[in-house]
Structure 1
Amino acid sequence: MRLSTISYFFLIGVNLLMSQTDYYFPERNSEWQHKQPTDFKIDSEALQAAVDYAEANEYSGSRDLRIAILKGFEREPFHKILGPTKKRGGPAGMILKNGYVIAQWGDTKRVDMTFSVTKSFLSTMAGLAEDRGLIANTHDKVADYVWDGTFDGAHNSKITWEHLLQQNSAWSGELWGGKDWADRPPRVGGIDDWKFEKPKEPGSVMEYNDVRVNVLAYALTHVWRKPMPMVLKENIMDKIGASTTWRWHGYDHAWVEIDGIRMKSVTGGGHSGAGLFINTEDMARFGLLFLNNGKWKKEQLISESWIKKVIEPSKPNINYGYMWWLNKKGDRHWEGLSEDIYYAAGFGGNFIVIDKENDLVVVTRWLEPNKIEEFMTKVNKALK
C-alpha cells in the first residue's frame, strides 16, 4: 500500500521531531541511566580505547593545585594565590549519547577546581541577563550599565558586552589587585615593553586575560544586583537537577556593596585560585543543557538565540565565541572532526565538549591538555 504524499511527509516530520527531542534527562539525586554503546551502533572496543587513552594521559602538573598554579603562571609579575584552591583527584570523565551514559571513568562525584571552564558558566550569566532584558543587547556599551568608573575614559568607554565575552575588550586597569598588563605577558620583550604598551582597539585582538574576565563578572554582578552563584543556582543548576556540592568562589578580598548588601564578585577562572569547583556529573548536566539548545526537558532555560550567539566565531579569532571554543578551521581546529563542535576548556585538562552532530556530550578531567584532539579523534572513531 502506497503512502499518500501528505502521509509520507507527516511521518518524516514526526521522525524528525522525535530525533530532535529524544534525549534522556537525569533526575536529581538519582542514578544516571546507562546504555551500552552498541545500543547506538557505537563500537564498544574503540570507545573503551578512548577511555583508556584518557586515563593513561593524566595532566602532568602537581595534584596539589596550589603548586600547579604557582608553577603554571610563574612568569607573571606579582602573581600569587588570592582565592581558595583544592587538591585534585585523578582522571575522570563521562560520555553521553542522547543524554545516556555510554562511558564513564574515575570518580565522577568528586568536586574539583575547573579553572577556565568557569568562563562558559559566566558567559551563560550574560545570556540569562539578555534573555530577561537586564541587558538589552550584547552590542551595548558596558558603561551604559556600570557607571562607577570601571568603564570610564576614552578607551574603556568603547567596550561592549560582546568585547568582554569574546575576550577582545583590551580593558585597561586594575581589579582586585590584578593589573591587566601583568596577566599572561608575551614571551618576547622586557617588562617595560609591554607594561607601557598602548591598549589595543576593543574588538580587534583576542587576548586571554583573567583580569578582564573578572571585570565581566564584576559588571554582571552589578547588572543582576546579586551574586553570580545565586543567579546560576536559581536559574540553571537547580533546574537541571545538579548536586548541592558545587561552589563558585571569588578572591578572598573581592567584595562589593550593591543596594547596601555586601556580596562577593566571583572569578571567571582559577588563575589565582577561586573559580568554579564542581563534579564531573554536574558538568555533564550543564553540557546536556547546551546540547539540547538551552532546553531541559520541556523548559527553555536559555534562549536558542543566545546559544546561536555563543557559537558565532569572533572576528579576531574564528575559534572563539562567547567564552566557548569553536572547532572551526583555525589555529585550534581538531582535524577530521565536526566544525560544529564547541567546548569549554580549563587549565589542567578540564573539558566539556558539545558535539551536536552526533548528539554527544563529552566531559573529561585532568587530561594532558595537548591530548584532547587525539582523545576526541578516538571517540569519533568509535562512532564510525
Structure 2
Amino acid sequence: MKKIFKLIGFASFVGFFYIGYTTYPKLDLISGFSAKSVASGHFIDHRSLEMIEKGDNDIDMIDLAKNKIDEEGKFATASVYGLKKRKAIYREGLGATLINDDFDISKPYAIPKRTKVKNDLSFPYGDKEAQDTVFPNIDYDKLNLAVANAFDSKGKKDKRTRSLLVVYKDKIIAEKYDAGFDKNSKILGWSMTKSITATLFGILQKQGKYDIYKPAPIPEWQNDKRKNITTNDLIHMNSGLEWEEDYNTICDATKMLFLSENMGRVQLEKPAVFVPNSHWNYSSGTTNLLSYILRNQFKTQQEYLDFWYAALIDKIGMQSMLIETDMAGNFVGSSYGWATTRDWAKFGLLYLHKGNWNGEQLFDESWAKYVATPTNGSKGDYGGHFWLNAGGRYPDAPKDLYSCNGYQGQKVFIIPSLDLVIVRMGLTEDAKFDVNGMLKGIIRSLKK
C-alpha cells in the first residue's frame, strides 16, 4: 500500500512539474492578454468585469487569470496564481495599452484629433435613422430565419454571435444583437483592422504621396537582400520574411502583441527566408510594420495619429472607431481596432462603392480591384490585406466576395455582384460557426 501511495505521490509530482514547466512561460502572455482585454472592454465599451470574463476572456488558459479594474487610475491588472502580474492602462483617444515596468505613465502623449461629420442624412452617410425600405426581391421570412439561425438558442453557447448586420443597396435590411449588445456597442475587430491599415496606403497612393511598388523605405534593409522587398509585397503578405503566427503557442505574433514595446519593429528585424513575391505567409507583424512605415511618412506623431482618422475613419463617419496604440505610440494596425457593427459596415460599403464615399473618391477604383486580386501562393484565399472567395472558401457565396476577417469570427463581407455587405461579430471561428451556411441563407433570401 505504501508503494502505491509513493507511486501516486511521484506521479502527482511529475504531473505538477510538467504543468508548471509547460505553462509558466505562457503566464506573461496569459496575464497580458487578460489585462489588455479587460482594460479595453471596460473602458472602451463599458463592459463589466463579469461580462468580459464570461465572454472575451472565456478562452482556454486565459480564464486562469485573476483580473482587477482600477476605475480611478483607469487601468486593469491580471495575474495567474499570483504570478506574472501585467498591467494595461487606458488613455482617452489611444485606448488601452499593455505596459511593462519601464513604461513612463507620466510622460505626455499626443492623441488623435477627431472630426465629426454633421448632416441630416441617414445611414450610411449620417446618423439619422433611416425609414424602413421594403425591397420586392427579398424574401424577408427567409432573411430573418437566416439571421436568427446565426445566434445561439437560449441556454446554448456554441455559435456565440454578438451581432449580425445585413446591408443591401445601402439600406439595412436585417440587424440583430445578442443580449448585452446593441447598435452602440463597440466591438474589437481583431485582424479586420489589417484592412483599415492597408487602405491608408491606397489613400496615400491616390494623393500621389506614396508608391507601393517601390522598395519599402526601411534603412535597416538597404545592405542585405531585404532591400528588394516592396510595400506591395508587404500588403500581399509575401515579403519572404520569417514569421510564425499560431495563437495556440508562444510564437512571433503572441510575443509581439503581449510583450513588445514597439510592435512595428518586430517584423522589421526578421531575416528573409524566401524571395519576395514567392511565398505567402500570413503575418500580423507585417501589418504593424506597415503602420510603422506610415508613421515615418509624417514629420510628427500628431500628424501620423490624425491621418488615420482624417483621411479615412472620420471621413466615412466611423465615429465610434478607435484604434489602440503600443507603448511606442504606433497604431496596432494588425489587431486593435474597435467600432460598432454599423461602423464596420460603413468600411465595407466604402469598398463596395470602390472608394467613393457620398461623392468623394478616397482611393482609386483600381485599389478595390487590387486588394481583391489573389496574391501568389494564397490559392485564391488572400489578396491585399483582405480575404477572398476566389478559391471557393465559401462554396455557396459568389466568387467575387472578399472580406475583412478577424480572430474569433469577426467578418465584414463585401459582395459586389449582389450589392451586399454583411457584418458578423462573435466569439467563434469557422470550425464552430457555419459561415458558409449563414451566407447561403442570407443570399438565398434575395430573389433573382
Task: Decide which of 126, 150, 153 is 2:201's aligned counterpart.
Answer: 126
Structural mapping, 1:1-384, within 5 Å:
26-36=124-134, 39-56=135-152, 91-106=162-177, 107-136=182-211, 138-142=212-216, 145-147=217-219, 149=220, 151-172=221-242, 182-183=252-253, 199-225=273-299, 226=301, 229-243=305-319, 245-251=320-326, 253=327, 255=328, 264-270=329-335, 275-317=336-378, 318-329=380-391, 333-366=393-426, 368-370=428-430, 371-384=434-447
| Contact 1:59-1:348 within 8 A present in 2 as well | no
RCO comparison, higher one (Cα < 8 Å, 6+):
1
TM-score computed with the length of structure 1 as normaliser = 0.70
CA distance in 2, matches of 1:329, 1:214: 27
Deviation string 1:290-343 (CA, Å, 9 cap, x unpaired) is 11111112111121021121111111112211101111125xx21132111110
Cα 1:359–1:124 change in 2 (3 A) is same
**What is the CA–CA distance in structure 2 between the aligned matches of 1:198 and 1:26, rounded to whole Å?**
43
CA–CA distance in structure 2, aligned partners of residues 284 and 290 of structure 1: 10
Distance 1:219 1:322 in 2: 16
RMSD, aligned α-carbons:
2.9
| Cα displacement (A) at 1:108 | 2.3
Cα distance in 2 for partners of 1:337, 1:344 equals 15
CA distance in 2, matches of 1:323, 1:171: 16
Mapped to 1, the partners of 2:394 and 2:401 lie a distance apart of 9
Q: What are the Cα deviations for residues 13-45 of structure 1, in whole angstroms up to 9, with x where unaligned? A: xxxxxxxxxxx8534332244423xx1411111
The CA distance in 1 between the partners of 2:293 and 2:341, in whole Å, is: 28
Query: Conserved in 1, the CA contact under 8 Å of 2:189 and 2:337?
Result: yes
Bigger Rg, structure 1 or 2: 2
Q: Deviations for 1:170-213, whole angstroms, at most 9, x for unmatched residues?
A: 33599xxxxx973389xxxxxxxxxx997122211111121222
The separation in 1 between residues aligned to 2:383 and 2:353, in whole angstroms, is 18
% identity of equivalent residues: 26
Taking the aligned partners of 1:197 and 1:134, their CA distance within structure 2 comes to 28
CA offsets per residue over residues 92-123 of structure 1, 9 Å max, x none? 12111110000001112201211000001001
Give the equivalent residue in structure 2 for 1:15. none
Aligned letter for 2:213? Answer: H
Which ranges of structure 2 fall in alignment gaps of 5 or more residues?
Answer: 1-121, 245-249, 256-269
TM-score after normalising by structure 2: 0.61
Matches of 1:132 and 1:224 in 2, distance apart? 14
CA separation in 2, counterparts of 1:59 and 1:312?
36
Q: CA-to-partner distance for each residue in 1:121-154, whole Å, 9 max, x for gaps?
A: 0010111111112212x22110xx332x2x3442
What number of residue pairs does the alignment pair up?
Answer: 296
Distance 1:184 1:250, change over 3 A: closer
CA distance in 1, matches of 2:385, 2:368: 12
